[in-house]
């Protein structure tokens, strides 16, 4: 049974993905990315990829869906998030002038005038904790995430953020309260599981690994198996 999430739904517009090393976070992000590419053309969808370890998305470099080249260092990551905030604000100004409440209404109006739609933008961020060590960087990234989390959905901009260290220092209350959709792969401890779900749920510590996951949507938890997309070895 294939489960898909609707990014235009307020409960699943932004995701936090947590799990220990080897639990299957990067593979989950890759299959999620492939699903997005399969369903939407580069005119309808732009993708921003952040890959500090440089091993998650190698085959996607240069694809026509990319908003900008794959981001690998923290200065660019900060810039990218600030660019997304700017894009969001610009879109809100356009919506206001057109008297439209959100992206779909605005695009409908554009298509009535035979104009191309504004694409949705999905930012997929692997290994978020890699950039959280320095306080200044953490503050800047968090500020952007907070602003995007609060109102990017209506503008058609979505965040999917994965971390191997779902501990309180990395997954701060700001991050948590702005990323409503949750995916937990196997965590290293019960405490990490609780941090991902934001309650007393320790179940993620007892998952099997390799893509075995819990998906929290609203108040409901579903246990699922992540898809696995074999890597293409480029010549």
Ligand X SMILES: Nc1ncnc2c1ncn2[C@@H]1O[C@H](COP(=O)(O)OP(=O)(O)O)[C@@H](O)[C@H]1O
Binding site for ligand X (CB under 6 A): 19, 21-27, 210-211, 226, 228
Q: CB nearer to ligand X: give 29 or 100.
A: 29
Min CB(229)–ligand X separation in Å: 9
Q: CB nearer to ligand X: give 23 or 193.
A: 23
Min CB(20)–ligand X separation in Å: 7
Q: Residue 49 gets which letter from DSSP?
A: E
CB 87 within 8 A of CB 121: yes
CB 208 within 8 A of CB 19: no
Binds 19: which of ligand X, Mg ion, none (CB < 5-8 Å by kind):
ligand X
Min CB(126)–Mg ion separation in Å: 6
Q: CB nearer to Mg ion: give 163 or 216.
A: 163
Question: What distances in angstroms separate CA 199 from CA 132, 170, 196, 219, one per listed residue?
Answer: 23, 17, 8, 11
Question: What distances in angstroms separate CA 102 from CA 39, 56, 88, 156, 189, one per listed residue?
Answer: 21, 32, 11, 8, 40
Binds 23: which of Mg ion, ligand X, none (CB < 5-8 Å by kind):
ligand X
Report the C-alpha gap between 213 and 223 in whole angstroms: 6
Q: Which of 176, 57, 59, 208 is nearest to 122 (CA)?
A: 57
Binds 181: which of Mg ion, ligand X, none (CB < 5-8 Å by kind):
none
Q: CB nearer to ligand X: give 27 or 192.
A: 27
Min CB(56)–Mg ion separation in Å: 6
Q: CB nearer to ligand X: give 140 or 212.
A: 212
Q: Helix (H, G, I), strand (E, B), or coil: what is residue 212?
A: strand
Binds 22: which of ligand X, Mg ion, none (CB < 5-8 Å by kind):
ligand X
Question: What distances in angstroms separate CA 46 from CA 41, 68, 119, one per listed residue?
Answer: 9, 9, 6
Min CB(26)–Mg ion separation in Å: 3
């Amino acid at each position: 049974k294939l489960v898909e999430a609707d990014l235009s739904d307020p409960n699943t517009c932004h995701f936090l993905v947590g799990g220990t090393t080897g639990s299957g976070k990067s593979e989950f992000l890759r299959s999620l990315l492939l699903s997005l590419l399969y369903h939407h053309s580069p005119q309808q969808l732009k993708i921003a990829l952040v890959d500090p370890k440089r091993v998650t998305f190698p085959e996607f470099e240069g694809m026509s869906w990319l908003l900008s080249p794959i981001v690998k260092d923290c200065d660019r990551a900060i810039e990218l998030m600030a660019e997304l905030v700017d894009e969001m604000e610009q879109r809100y100004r356009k919506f206001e002038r057109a008297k439209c409440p959100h992206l779909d209404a605005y695009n409908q109006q554009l298509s009535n005038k035979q104009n191309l739609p504004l694409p949705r933008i999905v930012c997929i961020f692997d290994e978020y904790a890699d950039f959280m060590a320095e306080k200044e960087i953490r503050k800047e990234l968090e500020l952007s995430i907070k602003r995007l989390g609060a109102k990017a959905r209506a503008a058609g901009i979505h965040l999917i953020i994965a971390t191997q260290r779902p501990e309180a220092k990395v997954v701060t209350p700001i991050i948590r309260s702005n990323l409503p959709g949750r995916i937990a792969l196997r965590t290293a401890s019960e405490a990490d599981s609780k941090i991902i779900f934001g309650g007393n749920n320790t179940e993620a510590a007892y998952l099997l690994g390799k893509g075995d996951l819990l998906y929290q949507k609203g108040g409901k938890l579903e246990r699922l198996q992540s898809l696995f997309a074999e890597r293409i070895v480029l010549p």
